[in-house]
Amino acid sequence: MRLLLLLLLAAPAPLAAQPACGAETRGQLACMAGRSCLCRHEQGGSLTGIPPGWAWDCGALRPDCPPPAAAKQAAPNLFLGPLSRPQRSPAR
């Protein structure tokens, strides 16, 4: 019993649920693992062994997700001082 409890506590946390992809969500975009994925119908085929159906297209040609709004920060307003060189007094 203790071993079972220990195994349950040591198990990794479940991953976030993947959004459903189907006819009602056709064309929907979702950010998964930093990639902008598109819900679309895949043809499948006997050569690849993939059955036809709805699937997320997260291929290498898909763009990355835009950064979150909180990560976009304006550049800090820095004062660099006068940009001209100070004038030296004439030598006597």
Per-residue pLDDT, averaged over 29-36, amounts to 92
The tally of domains found in the chain comes to 1
In a domain, 73, yes or no: no
- Give the pairing type, strands 53-57 and 29-32: unpaired
Looking at residue 13, its pLDDT comes to: 47
- In a domain, residue 74? The reply is no
pLDDT tens across 34-92, in order?
A: 999 999 999 888 888 888 999 999 999 999 998 877 655 666 666 666 666 666 777 66
Position 51 in a domain: yes
Confirm whether 45 is domain-assigned: yes
Please tell me the distance from the alpha carbon of residue 78 to that of residue 65, in angstroms, as a whole number. 30
1 domain-assigned:
no
38 contacts 25 by C-beta, under 8 angstroms: no
pLDDT band at 1; cut points 50, 70, 90: low
pTM of the model: 0.54
State the CB neighbour count (10 A cutoff) for residue 73.
7
Q: Which one is predicted more confidently, 32 or 69?
A: 32
Residue at 50 is within a domain: yes
Give whole-number Cα distances, 45 to 48, 49, 50, 91, in Å.
6, 6, 6, 88
Q: Is residue 43 part of a domain?
A: yes
Domain that holds residue 21: 16-57
